[in-house]
Amino acid sequence: MKKLVIIASTLAASPALAASGPFFSLYNTNFVVLLSFLAFIAVLVYLKVPGKLAGMLDKRAADIQKDLDEARALREEAQTVLASYERKQKEVQEQAERIIDTARSEAEAAAAKAKDDLKVAIERRLAAADEQIESAKAGAVKEVRDRAIVVAVAAAREVITKQMTDATGDRLVDAAIGDVQAKLKLH
Is the pLDDT higher at 163 or at 53?
Answer: 53
Contact of 28 with 18, CB cutoff 8 Å: no
Measure the CA–CA gap between 134 and 145, rounded to whole angstroms.
16
For residue 20, what is the DSSP state? -
Model confidence pLDDT, tens digit, residues 106-139: 999 999 999 999 999 999 999 998 899 988 888 8
Residue 5, pLDDT > 50, answer no
95-99, 162-166, 172-176 — which is least confidently predicted? 162-166
CB-based contacts of 28, cutoff 8 Å, min separation 6: 19, 20, 21, 22
- Give me the pLDDT at residue 72, please: 95
Mean pLDDT, residues 12-21 taken together: 53
For residue 102, name the pLDDT band (cuts at 50, 70, 90).
very high
End-to-end CA distance of the chain: 165
Mean pLDDT, residues 72-99 taken together: 94
Print burial letters for 60-78: b (CB count within 10 Å at least 16), e (below 16).
Answer: eeeeeeeeeeeeeeeeeee
- Give me the pLDDT at residue 178, please: 87
Q: Indicate the average pLDDT of the chain.
A: 85
Mean pLDDT, residues 4-25 taken together: 58
Is the pLDDT higher at 20 or at 77?
Answer: 77
pTM for the structure as a whole: 0.38
Cα 106 from chain centre: 15
In Å, what is the CA distance from 114 to each residue of 94, 120, 126?
30, 10, 18
For residue 6, name the pLDDT band (cuts at 50, 70, 90).
low
Is the pLDDT higher at 31 or at 167?
Answer: 31
- Give me the pLDDT at residue 186, please: 74
- Give me the pLDDT at residue 12, please: 46
- Give me the pLDDT at residue 70, please: 95
Mean pLDDT, residues 80-105 taken together: 94
